[in-house]
Amino acid sequence: MKYFLTFVFLVQFWLVAQSQIPVGSWRMHLPGKYGAHVAWSPSKVYCSTGESLFAYKLSDNSIEKLAKINGLSDFGANAIAFSNDLNLLVIGYDNGNIDIVKGKEIINISDLKKKSLPASKAINHVLFDGKMAYLSCGFGILLLDLEKLEIKDTYIFGPGGTYLQVNSCSVLGNELYAATNNGIFRADKTDPLLVDYSRWKLITNIPNYNKAFRQVISDDNTIYAVYSSPAVAGDSISYLRNGNWSNFRLDENTDIYNLSFSRENIYVSTSNNLKTYDKNFQIKNTLWQYGDYGVAKPRESLIDPSGNLWIADFGNGLIQYHANGSFVKIEPNGPSSSRIKSFFFSGNTLYTAAGGTDISYDNLYNTAEFSTFSGDEWKTYFSWGHSDFMTVRTDPKDQDLIYVSSWGSGIFTYKNGLEVNHYNDANSTLQTAIAGAPYVRVWGMDFDKDGNLWASNSYVNNSLSVLKRNGEWKAFPLRNYIGSELPGDVVVDDLNQIWVVLNKGGGILVLNTNNTPDNTGDDRYLVFKPKDAFGQFVTNVYTLVKDMEGDIWVGTDIGPVVYADPDKVFEGDTEGKQPLLPRPGTDIVDPLLGKEIIRSIAVDGANRKWIGTERGGAFLVSADGDSALLQFNMDNSPILSNTVIAVGIHDKTGEVFFGTDRGIISYRSDATKAGEDFGDVFAFPNPVRPNYHGNITITGLIKDANVKITDIAGNLVYETTTLGGQVVWDGRNLDGRRVASGVYIIFCTNEDGSKTKITKLLFMN
């Protein structure tokens, strides 16, 4: 019975642990559906989407994500290629960085990335030639020595030796061909003076000879070149065979992205199908869709030694087209899009709105979509024919009822994944910016304490509307009053006052309705701009958030400004306060993040603030902002970009989600939201195995709980106080030594000792 209970104890906590990552760990949340490049090896098939890179393991059909968090040096793989002869994968990034993956070793070559160039450094294609690789770049060609792992030569051969974008390279005999934005160039690869631009010759006896060519590729004794026309139905294929150039054009109005070959066939990836031709361009097959998986949008394809076709598809990730005619879709779980406007947590679910307004407010009219992340699974919901979901909120009295605002189509409600209602200018006080057109632009939303939903409406007279709990709508015609056409984020404070961001220099609107939208007296409006620490008005306000003390934190273009007494704004306290940081070793203080543009702020379980900036990455600051605790940027962390548009925090796990202009990544922080009572208290990981040396998290606690850890004999090994709703232990005793193997008892009590909780942890050395 003793061993059975121990087994049950371990299984219980092992199951809980599988859905979480350790404190201090990162994980990626990138779309895997937009396949762009494919590379085959005997053990894995690699697929790059530009945003993410993953490998499909042929031995067990599992998917492995490759990223900075597990060894790569960068993000944004723009070209991939595998050499069977050298047993290595070359990854070229859009910033010029290069990784070589050989077995479990990853070698980084960053010379190009570090070099300052007045041209694109993107690596567009990798071509192996023995122990060398030609890298087609945004300025020319790099010759990479794969034995010495160094750049051997650089070829720049635009007019007069200027930079020229090279899209692809190929070798036939001793001839090196380059497809560029200014035509096809040819040179003798054995020429020791290829660094001299005059050694490169433009091929002029083909159609469109001085225009952009997407690809050049060789097969047997033939060179093929794909002309990329800016006109519809303009793409064509030129091929050099037996000394003569010929030209071939497809019948459909499609773009040609890629050519690949088998012994008998030519495979042509177009914008909406995959065509198979014989070597004389006689059509053999057209693949329009992948069985039940969806329509074909192939970008690259290759055929393996067993006759299976592997397709990087822009919409289906990686497709395996078996020689027997069946399909397998391989796509890592993730959100549908890397675009992000906002996060919202409700229960155990993260909601993301893909949004449409970027830093300049101009990236509009994308397909309306929102995603959910729950139980390690992403799901995406689309509203076809509508654009740009901006904000998600759940009904405080029914968390299954979801409200989503749209930049063009008003407000939608969903339940169990199905649309329930759609509010627009026809059935609500929401208005359209253009009469008779779908321009009901709703940005921010928030519920007040009575369950009424407030929403900002842009470019119209009714700048603010409320959907009351009884289903009635009420409008607030504020456009002339607020002086801004673009109201954004909406936050309801603890006094039921409505705070609204007025974008493009408008400042902040605060509305006081005497705590109910049904009030028959006069509503009070206040429009103002915060001031910085030197008494100067800020230019722009970007975001608002209410913290656990009821303070309003405002993100501006000169750092955060705090309103610690929101009730006093109508008494004239409209300046706010900038948190100040002492400069070490001096009496000088500086405004917190005073040189940063604040795009987003989120509050964790310890009331600390996670702040996303436009250029500096993400920051963690103390509850009152008097100290900066952490900074994550691209130089010191796996964060995808220094432009952090949205931050969201899972209250129960402490995981912080960063929505950047290149996608979503998350970090497991050390603070969770404390409950009114002890919840499901457990330690993670549990058991602690011999090869684990990270932090151990004890969660499910209440605020300011005392936590003592003892061995089975009752000897104290660690004691601390909760940070929010959890504590973190490094596995060492009071003397700083790693504890011995055994069962450890975790005693948790609240401040006055009236509430207690006990759990266990198994340590294995």
- Residue pair 241/249 in contact (Cβ under 8 Å)? The answer is no
The pLDDT of residue 473? 98
Averaged over 363-368, what is the pLDDT? 80
Give pLDDT tens digits for 432-441: 999 988 899 9
Give pLDDT tens digits for 542-567: 999 999 999 999 999 999 999 999 98
Give pLDDT tens digits for 662-674: 999 999 999 999 8
| Main-chain phi, psi angles of 54, to 5 degrees | -140, 160
The pLDDT of residue 175? 97
| pTM metric for this prediction | 0.91
- Structure-block tokens of residue 52: 């993410």
Token pair 């900002």: residue: 456
Token pair 């913290």: residue: 547
What is the domain partition of the chain in residue ranges? 66-296, 682-763
Question: What is the spatial distance between Cα 759 and Cα 727, in angstroms, rounded to a whole number?
Answer: 14
Q: Over 90: is that where the pLDDT of 641 sits?
A: yes
For 677, counting Cβ atoms within 10 Å of its Cβ (0-12 exposed, 13-18 middle, 19+ buried), the class is exposed
- Residue pair 682/698 in contact (Cβ under 8 Å)? The answer is yes
Which segments of 43-199 does DSSP mark as H helices, in order? 111-114
Question: Percent of the chain, pLDDT > 90?
Answer: 84
Give pLDDT tens digits for 11-37: 333 333 445 788 899 999 999 999 999
Averaged over 649-665, what is the pLDDT? 94
Nearest Cα to 44, choosing from 30, 65, 28, 29?
A: 65
Nearest Cα to 556, choosing from 593, 527, 598, 594?
A: 598
Torsion of CA 574, 464, 525, 553, to 10 degrees: -20
Q: Which CATH superfamily is domain 66-296 in?
A: YVTN repeat-like/Quinoprotein amine dehydrogenase (2.130.10.10)
Distance in Å from the first CA to the final CA of the chain: 24
- Residue pair 602/613 in contact (Cβ under 8 Å)? The answer is no
Of the listed ranges 84-88, 463-467, 479-483, 495-499, the least confidently predicted one is 479-483
Residue type, 192: P
CATH topology (fold) of 682-763: Immunoglobulin-like (2.60.40)
Q: Over 80: is that where the pLDDT of 568 sits?
A: yes
Whole-Å CA distances, 87 to 54, 80, 145, 510, 763: 17, 14, 15, 63, 40
Averaged over 186-205, what is the pLDDT? 97
Per DSSP, 161 falls in state G
Length of the chain counted residue by residue: 765
The pLDDT of residue 50? 85
Q: Over 90: is that where the pLDDT of 303 sits?
A: yes
Give pLDDT tens digits for 573-630: 899 999 999 888 888 899 999 999 999 999 999 999 999 999 999 999 999 999 999 9
Give pLDDT tens digits for 83-121: 999 999 999 999 999 999 999 999 999 999 999 999 999
- Count CB neighbours of 624 within 10 A: 16
Averaged over 688-706, what is the pLDDT? 92
- Residue pair 651/672 in contact (Cβ under 8 Å)? The answer is yes
Per DSSP, 199 falls in state G
Averaged over 412-420, what is the pLDDT? 96
Averaged over 533-539, what is the pLDDT? 92
For 450, counting Cβ atoms within 10 Å of its Cβ (0-12 exposed, 13-18 middle, 19+ buried), the class is middle
